[in-house]
Amino acid sequence: MEVRKAVKIAVIGATGYVGAPVSREALARGHDVTAISRSGALPDDIRAQARSVDIFDSDVLATALQGHAAAIHAFNPGRGRTDSAVFDTFVRGHEAIIAAAQAAGVSRLLCVGGAGSLKTRDGIPLMDSPDWPREFDAYKDGVRGTRQLYYLLQKTEGIDWVFLSPSSMLIPGPRTGNYRVGTDCLLYEEAGKSHISLADYACAMIDELESPAHHCQRFTVGY
């Protein structure tokens, strides 16, 4: 893959379900990636500078973010968790990351969003609609935690942020490099399915990094 201009970026949550594919996509395009995680350990195929950082310590995180042109917020403490405390954990993490990015002078903050607040074809937020996958009911507090990031960003000043929501289903799959872009409504393919692969979501995130098209707003991608 050819990169237009190499950028020094920090990926927060670089070993996670979404953070790892995003890190791999950025590295494949030649970007200078600092992979931030709690453990500081990376899979063998993510050859980045690894940093072990307590995400909740905004001062320490700000130090780690200094000198980076952009940060990608892929921190997610909720995958697989069903306890109600996960919402507060999400919010504390979001607040610390936003504060750290502002203190470090990061010019762009690209955030991994969720689909829960996007509207369905009936104009109803997914979490409140019949289209909501009932098998995810146990994880609603985590989904609410991701959605809260969007609300926090809307009150944030002094940084160019984006909140990239995937389609309803964000699942492993091939990288095609082809996807559609929307704003506040879920995207559906002709068969009625709303989905995108992790690899193509990561592709969309790094496309936005390289060619900014959205500023202080949410957008979504899907097939």
The domain spanning residue 151 has which CATH number? 3.40.50.720
- Residue 4: the pLDDT is 66
For the chain, the domain total comes to 1
Mean predicted confidence (pLDDT) in 207-221: 97
Residue 3 counted as domain residue: no
- Is 123 within a domain? yes
pLDDT value of position 131: 85
Q: Are 143 and 136 within 8 A, CB to CB?
A: yes
How many percent of the chain have pLDDT more than 90?
A: 81
- pLDDT value at position 61? 98
Residue 1 lies in a domain: no
| Cα–Cα distance for residue pair 63/203, rounded to 1 Å | 28
Residue with the two structure tokens 């490099």: 177
Does residue 2 belong to any structural domain of this protein? no
The winner for highest mean pLDDT among 1-5, 63-67, 83-87 is: 63-67
- d(Cα 212, Cα 162) in Å, to the nearest integer? 10
How many percent of the chain have pLDDT more than 70? 98
pLDDT band at 132 (very low <50, low <70, confident <90, very high): confident
Domain membership of residue 137 as a residue range: 8-222
Mean pLDDT calculated for residue range 112-121: 93
SS (H, E, C) the chain: CCCCCCCEEEEECCCCCCHHHHHHHHHHCCCEEEEEECCCCCCCCCCCEEEECCCCCHHHHHHHHCCCCEEEECCCCCCCCCCCCHHHHHHHHHHHHHHHHHHHCCCEEEEECCCCCCECCCCCEHHHCCCCCHHHHHHHHHHHHHHHHHHHHHCCCCCEEEEEECCCEEECCCCCCCCEEECCECCCCCCCCCEEEHHHHHHHHHHHHHCCCCCCEEEEEEC
Q: For the whole model, what pTM was predicted?
A: 0.94
pLDDT at 97 over 90: yes
pLDDT of 33 over the 80 cut = yes
**Is residue 157, in this structure, part of any structural domain at all?**
yes
Q: What is the mean pLDDT of residues 163-174?
A: 96
Whether 29 maps to a domain, the answer reads: yes
Residue closest to 12 by CA, chosen among 45, 80, 83, 60: 60
pLDDT bracket for residue 1 (50, 70, 90): very low
